C-alpha cells in the first residue's frame, strides 16, 4: 500500500502570463528542488518554463483551499 502522505500536489504556472496551466504531483521526500518544466502554454501559444508555484498536501487540497 502506498503512503499518500508522501505525495504533494503542485501547481505549474507560466512565467509570462501567470496562467496556472498544469497540476502535477511529486514526492516531497525525494525532490527538494522546485519543479520547473517546459510546458506548452495555450495562452502564450508557445512552450515556456513553467514553475512550481505552490505545494499542497493532498488532504488539504481535497478539503478546500485556505
Kindly list the residues in this chain that would bind Zn ion in the complex (CB under 5 A): 14, 16-17, 19, 41, 43-44
Which residues is 10 bridged to in the sheet?
24, 55
Q: Which is nearer to Zn ion, 20 or 34 (CB)?
A: 20
CB of 14 to Zn ion, least distance (A): 3
What is the number of other CB atoms lying within 10 angstroms of the CB of residue 53? 13
CB of 12 to Zn ion, least distance (A): 11
Enclosing H/E stretch for 52? strand 46-57
Euclidean distance between CA atoms 38 and 28, whole angstroms: 20
Q: Which is nearer to Zn ion, 5 or 42 (CB)?
A: 42
CB of 18 to Zn ion, least distance (A): 8
Amino acid at each position: 500500500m502506498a503512503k499518500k502522505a508522501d505525495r504533494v500536489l503542485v501547481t505549474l504556472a507560466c512565467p509570462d502570463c501567470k496562467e496556472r496551466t498544469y497540476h502535477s504531483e511529486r514526492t516531497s521526500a525525494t525532490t527538494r528542488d522546485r519543479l520547473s518544466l517546459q510546458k506548452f502554454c495555450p495562452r502564450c501559444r508557445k512552450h515556456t518554463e513553467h514553475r512550481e508555484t505552490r505545494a499542497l498536501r493532498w488532504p488539504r487540497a481535497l478539503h478546500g483551499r485556505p
